[in-house]
A = this chain, B = another copy of it.
Amino acid sequence: MAKDKKQPRPKAVTPKGFRDYFGTEVTERAAMLSKIAAIYHAYGFDALESSAVETVEALGKFLPDVDRPNEGVFAWQEADEGDRGEWLALRYDLTAPLARVYAQHRNDLPAPYRRYAMGPVWRNEKPGPGRFRQFYQCDADTVGAATVAADAEICAMLADALEAVGIPRGDYVIRINNRKVLNGVLEVAGVGEDSPEIRGVVLRAIDKIDRLGAEGVRHLLGRGRRDESGDFTSGADLSEEQIGIVMSFLTARDDAKADIEAGQIKMMPGFFTRSIFDGLEVTDARSVSDRLHSLLDDETGIGRQRLVNYATFTRLKNIVGASKQGNEGIDEVAEMADLLAIQGYGHDRIILDPSVVRGLGYYTGPVFEAELTFEITDDKGRPRQFGSVAGGGRYDDLVKRFTGQAVPATGISIGVDRLLAALTAKGRTAAAAPGPVVVTVMDRDRMADYQAMVAELRQAGIRAEVYLGNPKNFGNQLKYADKRGSPVAIIEGGEEKARGVVQVKDLVLGAKIAENATLEEWKERPSQVEVPRGELVARVRAILDGEA
């Protein structure tokens, strides 16, 4: 035999770190995003779908959250102009494109410009378990609004979006903070704006508190930290005193809680926030004190939550002392909390948490994070809180890269895959969607008859299909129906056709009977019934509705 000289066959694989999504993986995500889009739309946000491809120049050479050159993106050079061809890249998030779009179209866009965007982004990073190089983001941003009312609006909208997709109130909390507070703390600690590198190290250290705990962060603020594998991460090299100041900021909320548990309610003269004192005429220190104590008696527990917020505020006020920026930050958080409270987004949903700083360097003011508070079971069978599903904040300098003018902006990004996983964990996505009714083919020359049946079923709103494989082996047809998750199979052989009847097979019931050893209890409900052809649709409908 002659030697086979054919080309080797291509491998049928997704590139490393990429994956395909099938059936309900696609439709459940689309359903979730469509509910979120409806909320964003109601808030006056407009859809934007920017090009997936950007010039590398427009994206900037660095990813915002890693300290590496443009390895983080998938990039290529335009071929048609030879060596001088422009470098293009796939977008790595939806924020950098927004800055480009706003700079490009600013004369045509309303100011402020509220927009939402949903779509895939690409990261040229090392893939890992559950970590893909293409994934969905879902962002909403307001560009051109300097007021914290814009930040508060984003938080309210986020709460509404979470509830719209099926996270009930009480199962989530939105933690808010402000970068300026941290800046004030660092100012007090003697780490000024002239030390951006140290500030960066401090920022990233604080951002890791969930994972490393207070002790780990303390090490990263000092000399550094050696992890379990023996690798050493060098720290910010702060003094013990400096570390103490930063840690007191970081633990302000926990400390405030402890104060209140111990009955220590401290007041900060002259500092009131409406969300604490609404509905109360505050005339003197006495009435403030009365009010604070009355909050402890609130049976809903929200009063105590308010009190924790207030006590946290006063602790932070003490830490930032005279720092202008620090006080500005605290006032901004207080204003946000007030605006939210008056719209009904109270302490059961929005809380002040100094440990929320968000890792990205570009945030300049308010930062926020949505956390799901219900417990799930982790890989090792241990219960843990579900954790963060969305985060964002104010970033006032992104557009400036293009135009030279600072444009205030604030926004939120929802982790689409994580939120979808949360809904699945809560059983809030459609349970394994039923497959189509399968009309089997007994007589391949009567395909038109079978097609007429599925057409009738679809007319009645029932998902249905004819078996289109080779009909010779009937067992294969039933195996196919099984693989499709079909609730019902229809059978019409020549003998049935002659008598004007069809066999309707209840596959769900059939599976139950097959599972169950004592057939007795099912004998009243045979899994296959014969009905006149004219009653086909009605019978299928009855089975699907659980009435047959």
Contact = CB atoms under 8 A, between A and B. Distances in A.
Contact of A21 (B21, B49, B468): B49
A51 to B, nearest CB: 4
A149 B466 contact: yes
Residue from A44, A134, A145 having most chain B Cβ neighbours under 10 A: A44
Interface in A87-112: 88, 90, 100-101, 103-105, 110-112
Interface string A458-488: 1001011110111000000000100110000
Given A403-B9, A455-B344, A469-B111, A49 B20 contact: yes
A150 B469 CA distance: 9
A484 B105 CA distance: 15
A338 interface: yes
B112 A51 contact: no
A82 interface: no
A163 B38 CA distance: 25
Nearest to A149: B447
A358 interface: no
Residue from A12, A57, A438 having most chain B Cβ neighbours under 10 A: A12
B104 A14 contact: yes
Contact of A48 (B20, B74, B484): B20
Contact of A339 (B120, B444, B451): B451
B468 A15 contact: no
Contacts of A248: none
Given A10-B401, A343-B451, A18 B76 contact: no
Interface stretch (A22-30, A300-308, A520-528): A22-30
A12 B153 contact: no
Contacts of A133: 53
Contacts of A88: 15, 74
A224 interface: no
Nearest to A132: B51
Contacts of A447: 147, 149, 339
Contacts of A19: 51
Given A44-B464, A144-B469, A339-B451, A50 B120 contact: no
A42 interface: yes
A46 interface: yes
B74 A76 contact: yes
Nearest to A344: B455
Contacts of A49: 20-21, 25-26
A339 B114 contact: no
A11 B74 contact: no
A531 interface: no
Interface string A469-509: 11000000000100110000000000000000000000000
Contact of A54 (B9, B15, B111): B15
Interface of A: 9-16, 18-27, 30, 34, 37, 41-44, 46-55, 57-58, 60, 71, 74-76, 79, 86, 88, 90, 100-101, 103-105, 110-112, 114, 120, 122, 124, 133-134, 142, 144-147, 149-150, 152-153, 156, 274, 338-339, 342-344, 401-404, 435-436, 438, 444, 447-448, 451-452, 454-455, 458, 461, 463-466, 468-470, 480, 483-484
29 contacts: A9-B402, A9-B404, A10-B60, A10-B401, A12-B101, A12-B103, A13-B58, A13-B100, A15-B55, A20-B104, A21-B47, A22-B47, A25-B47, A26-B47, A26-B49, A30-B34, A43-B465, A44-B463, A52-B120, A53-B134, A110-B480, A112-B468, A145-B469, A153-B468, A338-B448, A339-B448, A339-B451, A342-B448, A343-B451
| Nearest 5 A/B pairs, CB to CB | A44-B465, A12-B103, A145-B468, A26-B47, A76-B76
